[in-house]
Structure 1
Amino acid sequence: MKNYFTEYKPFLFFLAKFFGTYLVLTFAYQTYLNEFDTSKFEVDGFTQLVAEQSKQVLSLFDSQSYTQPNLKESSVNLFYHNKWVARIVEGCNALSVIILFISFVFAFTGKFKQTILFVIAGSLIIHIFNIIRIALLCMAIFHYRHYQDILHGVIFPLFIYGIVFILWIIWVNKYSKHAKKTV
């Protein structure tokens, strides 16, 4: 048994750091979400920010884009060309994806300053691309409503997780302690 732990120590240490970070950040996020009363259809501030920023991107293409609180659930309705196209719920804000991203980066530790800077920059990149993703999804649904399920369920999740995957590859290959150093 001791040989097992010795042999797989790096992998087990990676798992411990990943799940430890993930659990702490998820607990903090859940504590934040618990501040909002979903029975009164309250929407957390970050989800509202994402909805508003998505509307601003849509407004570059259509001045009749706007948001409106949803009166039947905890979400924000998003309108494009004066037509309802989407509802922005807590899951749309990408914070869960950012938590996953941060957990992986901390599990593949690098130098402290680089790790912190990469987490901040990567989180900002994910946020920006998430806003673009939502805006593009709204435009696509407006024009191709019959493809809504594949657009929302397959194409656009691949978009955001693809960004995260690219950031992970950059982290592991360039900045983590496991990156190969070229001379």
Structure 2
Amino acid sequence: MKLTVSTVKQQVLEVPKPLRVFILRAFLCLLAWNVVHNKLLSANNDLDAFFSSTLAGSTSFLLNIFSMHHVSTSGMENGWITLFFNNSPILNISNACNGLDVTALYIAFICCIPSSTKRMVSYIIPGVVGLFAFNVVRCIILSFLGYHQYSGFEFFHHYVFTTLIYGIILFVWISYLKASFTHETQKA
């Protein structure tokens, strides 16, 4: 089969419209994330620093309420903020682990599925709040694991919490897909 512009166009048009819309939106989300976050904001890391400091501050606040230790945080240094229990460093919250990328991925997927703006917002806002709350709880648990020098700290950090967060996101995405496609089928 000879590859020409008309045959490529014909093959693209054979792809179901919802899938074409999804692919186009996914490409635009990826492009926007790369341009805005990785190019415009990466020079001064404002968004990452905001996410990291908000996460560290929220974690520290809750630990001070529910812990016998005095919890404090350092300023942003070398791309991370350190939590201290009674002036002893206990947990580093790095820009790479602050939840920003997972949050952006969650939002992008919701935006890629053809649906009403109202439905998108009704999943995005609680989802972002839920992801942040999960991340705060994760940091609280990791702080206690680090304080007690639990040998499973790395396992929990890298595997248990990663599996949990992606499992939760997958569950919400499936719920969103079902709601969106049920609504679309009822309209037809």
The question of whether the paired residues in 2 share the 8 Å contact of 1:47 and 1:89 is answered with yes
The question of whether the paired residues in 2 share the 8 Å contact of 1:65 and 1:80 is answered with yes
Partner of 1:173: 178
Q: Structure 1 residue 79: deviation in Å?
A: 2.0
Instruction: Give the length in aligned residue pairs.
Output: 174
The question of whether the paired residues in 2 share the 8 Å contact of 1:18 and 1:104 is answered with yes
Taking structure 1 as reference, are residues 29 and 110 closer, same or farther at Cα in structure 2, changes over 3 Å only? same
Q: Structure 1 residue 155: deviation in Å?
A: 0.9
Partner of 1:155: 160
Partner of 1:47: 52
Structure 1 unaligned regions, length at least 5: 38-42
Taking structure 1 as reference, are residues 112 and 70 closer, same or farther at Cα in structure 2, changes over 3 Å only? closer
What is the Cα-based RMSD across aligned positions, in Å?
2.4
Q: Does 1:7 align with 2:14?
A: yes
1:98-147 Cα distance to aligned partner (Å, 9 max, x none): 11011111111211122123212211111111111111122223235321
Q: What TM-score do the two structures reach when normalised by structure 1?
A: 0.81
Distance 2:73 2:176 in 1: 36
Rg bigger for which structure?
2
The question of whether the paired residues in 2 share the 8 Å contact of 1:55 and 1:66 is answered with yes
Structure 2 unaligned regions, length at least 5: 1-6
Q: What TM-score do the two structures reach when normalised by structure 2?
A: 0.79
Partner of 1:138: 143
Q: Does 1:126 align with 2:135?
A: no
| Aligned amino acid, residue 13 of structure 2 | T
Q: What is the identity percentage for the equivalent residue pairs of Structure 1 and Structure 2?
A: 22
Q: Which moved more, 1:25-34 or 1:88-97?
A: 25-34
The question of whether the paired residues in 2 share the 8 Å contact of 1:109 and 1:115 is answered with no
Q: Structure 1 residue 154: deviation in Å?
A: 0.5
Residue of structure 2 aligned with 1:25, choices 2, 26, 33: 33
The question of whether the paired residues in 1 share the 8 Å contact of 2:59 and 2:136 is answered with yes
The question of whether the paired residues in 2 share the 8 Å contact of 1:54 and 1:134 is answered with yes
